[in-house]
Chain A
C-alpha cells in the first residue's frame, strides 16, 4: 500500500539526496575561484587606478617608493597583440576558407584539421622557445634580438589554431543553398566566397577571432624571452625592433619583486587586463545569445 508513495528513508532516495547535494557542492566550489579572483582584483587593483598610471613609465624596482605607471606596457600589449593579429588573422581565415570551401574531406584536409588541433595543444611556452631559436638567437630581424615583433610572432602561433577553427566552423554553418545560388547565376568561386559565404559567416568568425585576441592579450609565457620587458616609453616605429614591455610580463616581473610599490602596480595592471578581457568575453556572449534568438524568425 505504502509502496506507491515517496519514502524518504528508502536507501535509493537517501542516496539520491546525498549525490544531489554533492553535485551542488561541486558547482559551489567551481564558482568560488572566479568570484574570489575578480573581487580581489577589483579591490586591490581598483584602488591603484589614477591618471598617472596611464601616463607614466614604471620605475625600476629599488628604493623608490613610487612605482610609476604602466603606460609602456599598456601600449606594448596593444602593439604586440596587433602584430599577432596581423599575422594570424589572414593566415587563419585563408586556411579556414580552404578547409571549409575547397577541400573535399580528403587526407590533406583531414591532416590539416588534425594539425590545427595538435597546434592548439602545444604549450604556450614552446611557442616562445621556438621563436627564440628561430628569430631571437639568430638575430634574423635586422640584427635585433629581443623585440616586440618577435613577441607578436610568438603570440600569432597561439592565435592561429583558434582563428582557423572558428573560420572553418563558421563557414560550415552557411547553408549550401547560398553557394548554389551564387554559382548558379555565374559567379566564380572566389566571388562566391568573398561576397556571399564569408559575409554571412562574418559574425561567428568575428566573435571567435575577438575571443582569440583577448586570450592572446593575456598570454605571458611566449613573451618572457621574445619581447622581454622594457621600462621606457614607446616613441617611434623603430621601437618595434627592441625589447618591449607588456601588461602580462609586467605582472609577472613585478609580482615577484619584494617591494610593495611594484606589487601594487602588478595589481593595477591585472585590473586593466582582466576588466578588458572579461568585458570582451561577456559582450561577445551577449551578442551570441542575441544572434541565437533573432536567427530564422
Chain B
C-alpha cells in the first residue's frame, strides 16, 4: 500500500537535473556557434595576414604577373588567370558529360542494376584522394596524352590556346584531371534534381506525343535546371580550390602564357608550392592570394546556395 502511494506522488525535478538540462542546451549552442567562429576566424586571420601586402600593392596585385621574391615584387595575375581558366574550361567539359551521365542513370535505357553500378562507380570516384589522382596523372595520364598534345600543337598551333610546344606538365592536363574530379559532383547533383522532377510532367509530355528526348530537353531538364545549376556552381567552387592534383600536374610556372600547352599556375598550387619556404613579405603576398581565392570560392558558394533557395522546385 505504502509503495503504491509513492508511485503516484507528484514528483518534482531536482534542481541539479534542471541545471544539467540548461548546461547541456547551452553547450550544444556554443558548439554550433563554433562554426561561425571558425568561418569568421578564417576570413579575419587571412585578411589580417595579407594586410601588409594589400596596403603595398592594392588592387594592382590582381593585374600584374611579376612574382619575384628577390626584388620583392609580387603580383598574382598569372595564378588568378590560371585558376579561372582551368576551373571554367574544366567545367565546360564536365557539364555535358555529367548531365549526360545523370540522364543515363535516371532514364531507363538499360536495366536498373547497370544504372546503379554506373552511379556508384561515379560516386566512388569522388572518394579517391586528390593526391592519388595527381600521382596517376603524372605517371599514367601524361604519357598517354603526349602524342595527342603534339598533334594539337601541330594542327591547331595557330590558335593562341595551343601555340606553344607541349610541355611535360601543363594547364591542359590540369584541366583534364579537374574534369575527373568534378564529374562525380555534377553527376550526383544533376541525378538528384532529375529524380525530383515529378512523373506527371513526363507522362503529360508523352501524352501529347513528345518523343523521349523532346521530353527530356523541353520538360525534364528545364524543371531540374536550378538544381543542376547549383551543382555546377558547387563544382566550380571546388575546382577553384582544388590543390593537390592540379599542383602535381600543372607545371607550376609563373611565366604568363595564353597557351594551355605550357606550364601554368593556380592560386592554390602557388600556395602549396611556396608557402613552406616563404618568408618576409612573400608570406603576406601569399596570404593575399589566399584571400583572393577564398573570396572567389565564397562568392560562388553563396551564389549557389541562393540559387537553390530561390529556384528550388515547387511542385
Contact = CB atoms under 8 A, between A and B. Distances in A.
Given A218-B132, A270-B135, A122 B98 contact: no
A190 B131 contact: no
B113 interface: no
B134 A255 contact: yes
B35 interface: yes
B6 to A, nearest CB: 15
B312 interface: no
A166 interface: no
Given A30-B122, A34-B122, A117-B305, A23 B241 contact: no
B261 interface: no
A204 interface: no
B91 interface: no
A285 B120 CA distance: 9
A126 B131 contact: no
A129 B276 CA distance: 10
Given A123-B294, A221-B243, A248-B129, A129 B124 contact: no
A133 B49 contact: yes
Nearest to A126: B294
A114 interface: yes
A122 B35 contact: no
B131 A118 contact: no
Interface residue range, chain A: 35 or more
Contacts of B301: 117-118, 121
A273 B242 CA distance: 19
Nearest to A118: B301
Contact of A221 (B13, B17, B128, B272): B272
Nearest to B94: A30
Interface in A214-265: 214-215, 217-221, 224-225, 228, 248, 251-252, 255-256, 263
Contacts of B254: none
With most chain B CB atoms within 10 A of its CB, the pick from A133, A218, A267 is A133
Contacts of B240: 123
A119 interface: yes
Nearest to B134: A255
Given A30-B183, A219-B129, A116 B122 contact: no
Interface string A28-57: 011101111100110010000000000000
24 contacts: A19-B213, A19-B216, A23-B104, A30-B97, A33-B183, A34-B124, A40-B136, A91-B31, A96-B32, A111-B36, A114-B305, A115-B39, A121-B234, A121-B237, A123-B241, A126-B241, A157-B38, A189-B21, A217-B129, A251-B134, A252-B131, A255-B139, A256-B248, A281-B124
> Which 6 pairs across A and B sit closest by C-beta, in order of nearness?
A123-B241, A218-B129, A26-B100, A94-B31, A95-B32, A121-B301
Given A20-B109, A119-B39, A123-B293, 8 more contacts: A40-B140, A95-B33, A125-B293, A129-B271, A188-B21, A218-B131, A251-B135, A255-B135
Interface of B: 11, 13, 17-18, 20-21, 24-25, 27-29, 31-36, 38-39, 41-42, 45-46, 49, 96-101, 103-105, 107, 109-110, 118, 120-122, 124-125, 127-136, 138-140, 180, 183, 187, 211-214, 216, 234, 237-238, 240-244, 248, 268, 271-272, 275-276, 286-287, 290, 293-294, 297-298, 300-302, 304-305
Interface of A: 12-13, 15-16, 19-20, 22-27, 29-31, 33-37, 40-41, 44, 90-92, 94-99, 101-103, 109, 111-112, 114-119, 121-130, 132-134, 157, 160-161, 164, 186, 188-190, 193, 214-215, 217-221, 224-225, 228, 248, 251-252, 255-256, 263, 266-267, 270, 273-274, 277-278, 281-282, 285
